[in-house]
Amino acid sequence: MKLIFKVVLYIWTSPNTLIGLLLGLFGLLTQGRVQVREGCLEFFGGSVSWLLSRLGSQGVAAMTLGHTILGQDRETLDLVRSHEQIHVWQYEKWGVLFIPAYLLCSGCLWLAGKDCYRENPFERQAYRLEDPQVKSWRQ
């Protein structure tokens, strides 16, 4: 029964995971790498690093898309894995609705003149629940 439930979660998140897989494939074609950790494919290097360095005002360390995690490099993924795994759990809960819900929250915060990343409820939850060692690394 547990296996069936896990398969359902992978199917429920599959449209978002597909986006991550396509971006990861481009990374692999441009000398990027992939590893499997905690039920996810983690892509890093190559065009994945290039893309992440251009997101946001200062770039981002990592980004989760379903059961794929895109990271700048292997070391960064090791540091932020607990935070990104919370986003995986959020994808499992929200499924195909996660990206629209996340972007809607960010948009509303931006319109209100607030920090659309740090004050996003999905990020606040991930920061609250992540591994204490990750929290100390960020400070």
Mean pLDDT for back-to-back runs of 10 residues, the chain (139 residues): 88 96 97 96 97 90 97 96 96 96 97 95 93 56
Predicted confidence at residue 1, as pLDDT, reads 78
* Cβ atoms within 10 Å of 91's Cβ, excluding its own: 26
Annotated domain spans of the chain: 2-138
Partners of 43 in the beta sheet?
A: 34, 70
CB 23 within 8 A of CB 43: yes
Predicted confidence at residue 127, as pLDDT, reads 92
Separation of alpha carbons 98 and 10, rounded Å = 14
Is pTM beyond 0.85? Reply is yes
| The length of the chain, given as a count of residues | 139
